[in-house]
Amino acid sequence: MKIINTDTPINASEYADFLRQKLLPLFKERRQVELTFNIVNTDDSIEIQNTDIYDGFLFRFEFKGNEIDVIKSEHYTDDVNVLTLEDILNNLYMEFPGRDNISLIEEGS
């Protein structure tokens, strides 16, 4: 799990919209494959899924005030698509919530 501490709370719905705009085009550019992922959100969480290929979520974001817990599915840790998504997500954190709004990023248990 990755824990992102922000200076101001991040809205899960806004973050889901951001991921919907950015994640798929970046993935297609990087992997050169036609593969889509569903970004499903509730009031306080987001899941990235592809239920045609993978059981359950690939990544889950849980929003807790000024903290975002990023949980990676333990079932697909070596999958090339998941590793590509993870690399893209790591870069997108600097764009939103943004480098100036992040106070700490740490690996949790």
Paired with 26 in beta bridges are none
pLDDT score at 32: 95
Distance CA(16)–CA(11), nearest Å, equals 9
Q: What is the pLDDT of residues 19-42, one digit of tens each?
A: 999 999 999 999 999 899 999 999
Contact, 58 vs 82, CB < 8 A? yes
Distance CA(33)–CA(20), nearest Å, equals 17
Question: Model's pTM, two decimal places?
Answer: 0.93
Distance CA(76)–CA(15), nearest Å, equals 23
Pairing of strands 2-6, 102-107: antiparallel
The structural domain count of the chain equals: 1
Q: Domain range spanning residue 63?
A: 2-107
